[in-house]
Amino acid sequence: MDSIKYLDPTTQFVLFSILKVMLVFAVAMTGVAYSVLVERKVSAWIQDRPGPNRVAPFFVEFIPVIGPWLTRLGIFQPMADGLKSFLKEDFTPSYVRKVYFWLAPAIACVPSLMTLAVIPFGSTLGNAANKMVIADLNVGILYSFGIVSLGVYGIVLAGYAANSKYPFLGGIRSSAQMISYEIAMGMSVVAVFLLVGDLNLSSVVDYQRGGLHQWLIWKQPLAFVIFMIAAFAETNRLPFDLPESETELVGGYHTEYSSMKFALFFMGEYAAMIAASGMMVTLFLGGWSSPFGSEPAGTILGGLVHIGWFLAKVAALMVVFIWTRWMLPRFRYDQLMDLGWRRFIPLALANILVTALIVAFTHK
């Protein structure tokens, strides 16, 4: 480890950045795989059935107690799922628009991963210059909104590329839905930034670092609710999963996709959920800080604890995402639009106004 100290700062920065990118990517991908498992397990428990409980490599059965227990939890299921995606036949229907058919899954998957770049997932590790965020942008939230808004293209193009009716309807629905809720989402966070006074996400975490009572969820409950519901809509999750609603559109925009291309859409959706959870944790739930208040860590162990807090909060929100899916029925399309445009946007605007007035009168 000591040899790192003798490199010049730029090289150090580049090295650490690459390391951070690889780590975040690995954690996010593992997170995606196990979110799928959690989804299946939670849905099973809600519906009073066991869920995936068989798959295991042959050697696991030789491990006493823990082995069967892990198998029953389905810990090995994601590996089997992943393998299956790769091995299945990659079928390309003859009538699709080839270029877009190939591009769309990638475009759907990439933006949600890119959003993770600006989320501070920990305080510092080792020394103070080593901040646990890949890109500490001063317009962090705008960057993430910009990238998220590009995510629509994957779905729209998938619908277009499939060259058939149901996927097309799914694509159209999703573009309208995502643009509509992006507005409500953007408006809701404006109030947060009025309080914090900076668009940099690290500053947002700093603002809430003092402990549970400092979290912005208490100061901006309305913004949190709107952001959360808009996040459901942005990630195409139930009760807003109209772009892929099985009962109406077969499978929506990914009806014509198979094997790994289909899996990419799936991964994109879960990665988007993780990104949205990370964003909510950062904005409203104190980011990496513990509920008892934290200073930026001075030791490696402290830094790891902060990362742990962040991951725990994200995991909790992911469970909320999944839980909601199995509890609520789907909205009708006009209800969805009505909710977005006529309820949330005016509410978010009113929230901005009230917050601005409070800030104006209490500032200085």
Partner 1 sequence: MPALTDLLFYGFAGLALLFGFLCVANPLSRNPVTSAMFLVLTICSLAGLFVLLNAFFLAAVQVLVYAGAVMVLFLFVIMLLDLKEEERRKLNKVALGAGTVAVAVIAGILIRAVTSAKPAADKLVEGTTKPLGRILFTEYLLPFEILSLLLLVAMVGVILLSKKELK
Minimum distance of partner 1 from residue 11's CB (angstroms): 14
Smallest separation (angstroms) from partner 1 to the CB of 157: 8
Q: Is the Cβ of residue 76 or residue 341 nearer to partner 1 in the bound state?
A: 341
C-alpha–C-alpha distance, residues 203 and 198, integer Å: 7
Residue partners of 244: CB distance under 8 A and separation at least 6: 170, 236, 251, 252, 253, 254
Nearer to partner 1, 142 or 260 (CB): 142
35-to-31, 305, 323, 346, 350 alpha-carbon distances in Å: 6, 22, 12, 34, 35
CB of 105 or CB of 303, closer to partner 1: 105
Query: Quick one: 150 or 316, whose CB is closer to partner 1?
Result: 150
Residues at the contact surface with partner 1, assessed by CB under 8 A: 100, 137-139, 142-143, 145-150, 152-153, 156-157, 159-160, 168, 171-172, 175-176, 178-179, 182, 198-199
Q: How far is the CB of 141 from partner 1 (least distance, A)?
A: 9
Tokens 């950062």 found at: 282
Least distance from C-beta 183 to partner 1, angstroms?
Answer: 8
Nearer CB in complex with partner 1: 182/244: 182
Q: Are 328 and 238 in contact (CB under 8 A)?
A: yes
Nearer to partner 1 by Cβ, of 147 and 192: the residue is 147
Rg (CA), the chain: 22
Q: How far is the CB of 358 from partner 1 (least distance, A)?
A: 18
| Smallest distance from partner 1 to CB 270, Å | 21
